[in-house]
Chains A and B, each alone.
Chain A
Amino acid sequence: MSYFSDIYKGIKTLLTGMSVTGGYFLHARKGAITQEYPDNRETLKMFDRFRGEVVMPHNADNRHYCTGCQSCEIACPNGSIEIIWDRAVDPATGKKKKKIDKHIYHLSMCTMCGLCIEACPTDAIVWAPNFENSVYDRSALTKVLNQPGSSVLDGIED
């Protein structure tokens, strides 16, 4: 007898479950959350704090905030940042001052931990929301963050 009652209960609970899925099937258009990526590239907006890659913003005159202090390089747990720096004579004071030559960022090694950005005293580096980072060659993921010919804004001290 329990054999038949088992079959009955099995079918009954199956139908209970199907009533849930059936309910969604009938209201399929309501509350659909699927995003049609990549067709929605134009309208897709990531959250402000989204960690995509580290970038260094430059202003219209090709100036940035990086003094070459190397705090980010020291903070990084896996050596994703290399700072190549130089000394140059500061025209205002006539003294030699540290300046950034190349801020090299290895995106391929970065774990998006955010420690470099926390460590930067002048907020020279920030997160960018770009997440489409697949490339054919690994070397394309090694980036120089300061643009060629750029220099640090006047009056930025670490």
Chain B
Amino acid sequence: MTDQQVQNKIKTEEYFINMGPQHPAAHGVLRLILTIDGEIIKNVEPDLGYIHRSIEKMCERDSYQQIVHLTDRMDYLSSHINNEAVCLTVEKGLEIEVSDRVKVIRTIIAELTRIASHCLWWGVMGMDLGALTTYFYAFRDREMINDIFEETCGARLTMNYNIPGGLMFDIHPNFVKRTKDFITHFKTKIPEYNLLLTDNVIFHKRTKGVGIITKEDAISFGVSGPVARGSGFSSDVRKHHPYSAYDRVDFKEILFTEGDTFARYQVRMMELWESVSIIEQLIDNIPEGETKTATKAVIKLPKGEFYQRVETARGELGVYINSTGNKNPYRVKFRSPGFSNLSILNHISKDVMIADLVATMASFDFVIPDIDR
């Protein structure tokens, strides 16, 4: 008998293993039930709910000012952008227009948040694939952004700096200088990131051609953010439905067509440059103006439905508020990017190795509290 015939004769049995909820290669409490045949994955079933805090239900209890701080705890790496989404929705309902100053500051901080989030992702992506060094370099640069946040907002991660109608207080006098220092510093560091990881042949072998998402699949599964743009699906909310100050800045939407893990990686790396360019365009001319548009102490939205979407570091976040005219919303729903992106994981992980699943998941940049809420 030839080797092939022997192999065909040996029957292997499929079996289940759990990846997570506590797993070093999963970024949080996500449990994946893998059906595997040897090293080959046959089915991936995500099991959610390990960090469900019923944020949507809590929103029905809270006033509109209080909802904002809950969204910090969804996608904590884009906390400012989440806050902004809720504030924009409430402002839409109240039909108030915030000043240009607020719009520009919100945009700058949102882009800093995006850089911080992508830095963390880059470090962790390297770490998932066995390159521990990237983590330290990414965290060194992210630290500078956290300092900017701490000085202006008072907190490093869960900032709660936005309020319906503007910002809680004005930016710190050092904000502009610190941000410029960071941009100068960071522009010399992105090429270093590329030397460390992007150009590495071992990294290419692990990521190229792994976890391919076609454009059709990306659209039909509702994938958004860098994951969708890695498959050539133009979905940047900042570009298609500009909010805050995105209509007055010039930036490119990064698109790659390969749809593999490496394409998603490149999208995020290029987005770092775009975010840097957006901040550079805005930082020198923050307009003067009010940082708060006065709202009533008790905000009551008119009866009706309000929806606003924003682009977080992970993709499209939609905030839906259904109001009956009371001081609390009747129903709040968050369309979180992580949840929709997770839905495609099973589709693209059939007949791949377990190690490839780890690489694919790293390129999805999941934040589990965002999936569970």
Binding site for B on A (CB under 8 A): 6, 9-10, 12-14, 16-17, 19-21, 33, 47-51, 75, 77, 111-115, 118, 127
B133 touches A21 (CB 8 A): yes
Shortest beta-carbon distance, A42 to chain B, in Å?
Answer: 20
Alpha-carbon separation in the docked complex, A120 to B207 (Å)? 54
Known: A33-B140, A118-B168. A51 touches B199 (CB 8 A): no
- B183-202, CB < 8 A from A: 192, 195-197, 199-202
B143–A77 touching, CB < 8 Å:
no
Total chain B interface residues with beta-carbon distance under 8 A: 29
Which single member of B65, B143, B152, B196 contacts A17 (CB below 8 Å)?
B196
Within 8 A of A (CB), among B323-360: none
Encoded as 1 (CB less than 8 Å from any A CB) or 0, chain B from 199 to 226 comes to 1111000000000000000000000000
Q: Which residues of B contact A (CB under 8 A)?
A: 62, 65-66, 69-70, 133, 140, 143, 147, 150-155, 158, 160, 163, 168-169, 172, 192, 195-197, 199-202
- Contact (Cβ within 8 A) B200 A20: no
Determine the residue in chain A with the shortest Cβ distance to B153: A49
Which B residues are CB-close (under 8 A) to A115?
65-66, 69
In the bound complex, do residue A10 and residue B154 qualify as a contact, i.e. CB atoms below 8 Å apart?
no
Q: Return chain B residues, CB-CB under 8 Å to A21.
A: 133, 196
B133 & A114 in contact (Cβ 8 Å cutoff):
no
For the complex, give the distance between the alpha carbons of A47 and B146 in Å. 12
A residues near B169, Cβ cutoff 8 Å: 49
Question: Can you report 10 A-B residue pairs in the complex whose CB atoms are below 8 A from each other?
Answer: A12-B201, A16-B195, A17-B196, A47-B151, A48-B151, A49-B150, A50-B155, A75-B66, A112-B155, A114-B160
Q: Which residue of A lies closest to B140 (CB)?
A: A33
Give the CA-CA distance A10 to B205 in the complex, in Å: 10
Interchain CB contact (< 8 A) of B150 among A13, A20, A50, A77:
A50
Note all chain B residues with C-beta closer than 8 A to A13: 199-202
State in angstroms the CA–CA spacing of A127 and B65 once bound together.
19
Say yes or no: A51 contacts B201, CB within 8 Å: no
Min CB gap A78→B, angstroms: 9
Cα A149 to Cα B306 in complex, Å, equals: 50
Contact A127 B154 (CB under 8 A): yes
Q: Which of A6, A49, A111 contacts B151 (CB 8 A)?
A: A49
Cα distance, A127 to B155, chains bound together (Å): 12
The CA-CA distance from A11 to B199 in the complex, in Å, is 12
Please give the distance in Å from B361's CB to the nearest CB on chain A: 23
